[in-house]
């Protein structure tokens, strides 16, 4: 009877943890609308936690440290907006001013394309591409106008969710260690060392990845804006911001930045030319070379160390589940799963369970 007691105790303990896991998943699913704000807040807390701990170790109150970090971060965002927003407004005005010109250029280009196709394939009925696009846009505009009340409601809803991110982040930074302590108290003594190592490995991996990705995206955005402005391409700031944000999505970043640059080249007064295309291509090749050779290895390094196939499948899955946000968040999630599996299997072998 006594020989069965440890086995029974172990089964009960494992069953309890599995039950807790299912309850946690069920709760998250029932309030899945909060999943993204919670995930973003946890990642931000991972990002700022080392700085908070470092300053707190010098004898400064933790809540005061967090408040100061929030204030400094908000100030930096405001300063960046002060310098960037005027350029964005100016480029937006230029875009609105040049829309009729772009419309005429598009009409002529699509008309020429239609004539070429009709001449090459006389037996084929070639549609009026410009009119098709115009009708499609008109229908889309009407649908958008009809759905403005719903869109406004959704925007307010999204804004209200976004306001939860700093609130959640603040409490994760202030009381996150209490959550960790509570989880460790529930951990059996036999696996205490494993859970401590697991928390440490996850924190290191996620912190390095987030910090590196943000630095990488900022560098790509700045380099792209500078490069495109040097070759005289309009809207270089907007395209640089798009390229930087797009770079947060693995393997799709260069495409996300190149497409709007190519479109601007097409509708520019000079129109599409081999020289213009080569200039843009050279800018993006140089930016990707600098990013891949210097920025990424230093900023991100081997913090994640995932196989490219895993990254591609993960990005596609994240996009299906949660759109663009899912494509950005899926890599740290996969990293957490990878670290967890590595640590758990190491200790299972160490304890001769496997």
What is the pLDDT at residue 188?
74
Contact 130, 108 (CB under 8 A): no
Residue with tokens 């740290």: 332
What is the pLDDT at residue 225?
92
Residue numbers in the chain where pLDDT is lower than 50: 1-3, 140, 144-145, 151
Instruction: Report yes or no on whether pTM surpasses 0.75.
Output: no
Buried/exposed 207-242: b ≥16 CB within 10 Å, e otherwise: bbbbbbbeebbebbbebbbebbbebebbbbbbbbbb
Q: What angle do CA 326, 330, 332 make, to 5 degrees?
A: 135
The Cα–Cα gap between 174 and 257 comes to 38
Closest CA to 268 of 292, 233, 236: 233
Contact 229, 285 (CB under 8 A): no
Residue with tokens 């990642």: 43
The Cα–Cα gap between 309 and 317 comes to 12
Kindly list the domain boundaries of the chain, sorted by start residue: 187-354
Contact 193, 351 (CB under 8 A): no
Phi, psi dihedral angles at 262 (to 5 degrees) = -65, -40
Count other C-beta atoms under 10 Å from residue 107's C-beta: 16
The Cα–Cα gap between 315 and 327 comes to 5
What is the pLDDT at residue 286?
94
Going through 7-97 in order, the beta strands assigned E by DSSP cover none
**What is the chain's length?**
354
């Amino acid at each position: 009877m006594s020989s069965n007691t440890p086995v029974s105790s172990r089964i009960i303990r494992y069953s309890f943890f599995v039950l807790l896991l299912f309850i946690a998943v069920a709760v998250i699913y029932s309030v899945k609308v909060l999943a993204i704000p919670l995930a973003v807040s946890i990642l931000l807390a991972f990002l700022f936690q080392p700085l908070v701990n470092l300053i707190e170790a010098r004898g400064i109150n933790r809540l005061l440290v967090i408040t100061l970090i929030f204030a400094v971060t908000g100030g930096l965002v405001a300063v960046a907006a002060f310098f960037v927003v005027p350029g964005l407004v100016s480029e937006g005005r230029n875009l609105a001013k040049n829309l009729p010109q772009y419309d005429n250029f598009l009409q002529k280009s699509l008309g020429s394309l239609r004539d070429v196709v009709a001449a090459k394939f006389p037996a084929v009925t070639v549609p009026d591409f410009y009119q098709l696009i115009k009708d499609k846009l008109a229908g889309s505009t009407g649908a958008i106008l009809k759905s403005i009340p719903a869109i406004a409601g959704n925007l307010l809803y999204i804004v209200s969710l976004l306001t939860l991110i700093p609130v959640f982040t603040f409490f994760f930074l202030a009381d996150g260690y209490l959550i960790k302590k509570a989880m460790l108290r529930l951990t059996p003594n036999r696996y205490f060392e494993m859970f401590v190592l697991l928390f440490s490995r996850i924190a290191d991996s996620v912190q390095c990845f987030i910090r590196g990705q943000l630095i990488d995206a900022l560098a790509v955005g700045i380099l792209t804006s500078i490069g495109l402005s040097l070759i005289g391409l309009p809207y270089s700031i907007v395209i640089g911001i798009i390229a930087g944000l797009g770079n947060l999505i693995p393997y799709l970043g260069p495409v996300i930045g190149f497409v709007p640059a190519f479109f601007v080249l097409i509708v520019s007064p000079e129109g599409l030319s081999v020289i213009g295309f080569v200039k843009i291509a050279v800018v993006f090749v140089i930016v990707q070379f600098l990013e891949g050779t210097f920025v990424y290895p230093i900023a991100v390094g081997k913090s994640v160390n995932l196989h490219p196939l895993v990254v591609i499948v993960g990005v596609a899955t994240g996009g299906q589940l949660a759109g663009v946000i899912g494509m950005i968040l899926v890599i740290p999630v996969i990293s957490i799963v990878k670290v967890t599996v590595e640590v758990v299997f190491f200790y299972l072998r160490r304890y001769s369970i496997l």
